[in-house]
Chain A
């Protein structure tokens, strides 16, 4: 079993829909939880990160963490065609004074006009 599980999709939605992306994890030692967006042939870029359980909102994006269930989610409201990308969840472990990030495999999202 991988430490971070993420459904690869693809997830296809119409413009304006609410999108829900999810990851589960097995290692309770993970401390920081992140969502990255990766456009085709580009490097990932950070969307949001959170440390504790609960919700964190940034514009159309909401990140949700449930440490008791080892489950994290990213919600996208009013989705746009420009949101079409692969969304990677990532989690980091403390190690030797630094943090070691582990990524999920990514979910491909397609928002069609």
Chain B
């Protein structure tokens, strides 16, 4: 079974530029998460999708961050414009079931550096 795929692995941009990250979850997984992990901290949930609907986006800075999940499969996370404090690893995860707890499978993440 293929894992969660993310691209790019690394990205360096200047502040005020835009950037987009892509995630392809494990086939058949209904739930998709985007997390932000700042160095030395745990992952912080930005947005959670159930199929192509949003379950929770309360911690997504909506003035600069946006995310979509097309046809309930792939997802993109965009930052526009980027700030220095957005430097972090952006992790995508997916899980197979709705309602009952199931394991979240993580991708390797995209390491963003804003200079």
Q: Which A residues fall within an 8 A CB radius of B? A: 4, 6, 8, 31-32, 41-46, 49, 51, 88, 90, 92, 95-106
Contacts and interface: CB of A to CB of B under 8 A. Distances in A.
A99 B101 contact: yes
Nearest to B56: A100
Contacts of A102: 45
Interface of B: 4, 31, 33, 35, 40-45, 48, 50, 55-56, 91, 93, 98-99, 101, 103-109, 111
B42 A100 contact: no
B45 A43 contact: no
Contacts of A103: 35, 42-44
Contacts of B31: 98
A89 B30 CA distance: 23
Given A43-B109, A100-B48, 18 more contacts: A8-B40, A41-B108, A43-B93, A44-B43, A45-B105, A46-B103, A49-B101, A49-B103, A51-B101, A95-B56, A96-B50, A99-B101, A101-B45, A102-B45, A103-B35, A103-B44, A105-B41, A106-B41
Contacts of B50: 96-98
A100 B101 contact: no
Contacts of A41: 108, 111
